[in-house]
Chain A
Amino acid sequence: GAGVSQSPRYKVAKRGQDVALRCDPISGHVSLFWYQQALGQGPEFLTYFQNEAQLDKSGLPSDRFFAERPEGSVSTLKIQRTQQEDSAVYLCASSLVGGAGTGELFFGEGSRLTVL
């Protein structure tokens, strides 16, 4: 596609529900990142994929968070048993290059999750 696409744009969940957030990166981009952006804060790193391999998941805040990119393109971030502190905008970004942080990141518009 022309850009990084994320869905849904807005999600309201009741506490304890499971949610799935989808990211469709730019075609051919090797790297894919998930970030969490709380209100008034900068993006916080969650996880990184190089193709289908999840090379870094050190930023996932708990084992309720899970991400996958099974075919090296579309990625899904899943949050189980959502809590109020999970409320944030979840940003997906892709980059043409793999490896170290040298390439330009292309961001989606984000998925805003509100947990009631």
Chain B
Amino acid sequence: AQSVTQPDIHITVSEGASLELRCNYSYGATPYLFWYVQSPGQGLQLLLKYFSGDTLVQGIKGFEAEFKRSQSSFNLRKPSVHWSDAAEYFCAVGTTSGTYKYIFGTGTRLKVLA
């Protein structure tokens, strides 16, 4: 069955520190992978996506993610976190066959210390 796992429910980092949010997926075919961010009271916004090609993808707001097929992972990274990055982050996989859906992880809530 298709699934997305985000093992870290909460992460706290200091402003200026680096960040890595983990995401593991389970999907039989080639995955289409996404990271979304949700600020309080807001809808989800796309940070970046991976379809094929270069396994390191760049997104908005200085985020990047690396696809590692051997580890079934798509971890999100940022070299230096800003206070405005505090939000909830969701990893998702888009199905490419059968039913049409995007499957989301349970999210990682990021807290940034000043």
Contacts and interface: CB of A to CB of B under 8 A. Distances in A.
Given A58-B99, A91-B44, A101 B94 contact: yes
Contacts of A106: 43
B68 interface: no
Contacts of B34: 104-105
A100 B32 CA distance: 10
Contacts of A45: 101-103
Given A41-B107, A100-B94, A101-B94, A109 B43 contact: yes
A31 B43 contact: no
- Provide the main secondary structure of the chain A interface: loop
A91 to B, nearest CB: 7
A82 interface: no
B46 A104 contact: yes
Nearest to A42: B104
A43 B94 contact: no
B42 to A, nearest CB: 6
Contact of B101 (A42, A56, A104): A56
Contacts of A56: 99-101
Query: For chain A, which range describes its interface: under 10, 10 to 19, 20 to 34, or 35 or more residues?
Result: 20 to 34
B100 A50 contact: yes
A52 to B, nearest CB: 15
A110 B96 CA distance: 26
Contact of A110 (B43, B51, B101): B43
A65 interface: no
Interface in A52-110: 55-56, 58-59, 91, 93, 99-110
Interface of A: 4, 31, 33, 35, 40-45, 48, 50, 55-56, 58-59, 91, 93, 99-110
Interface of B: 4, 6, 32, 34, 36, 41-46, 49, 51, 90, 93-97, 99-107
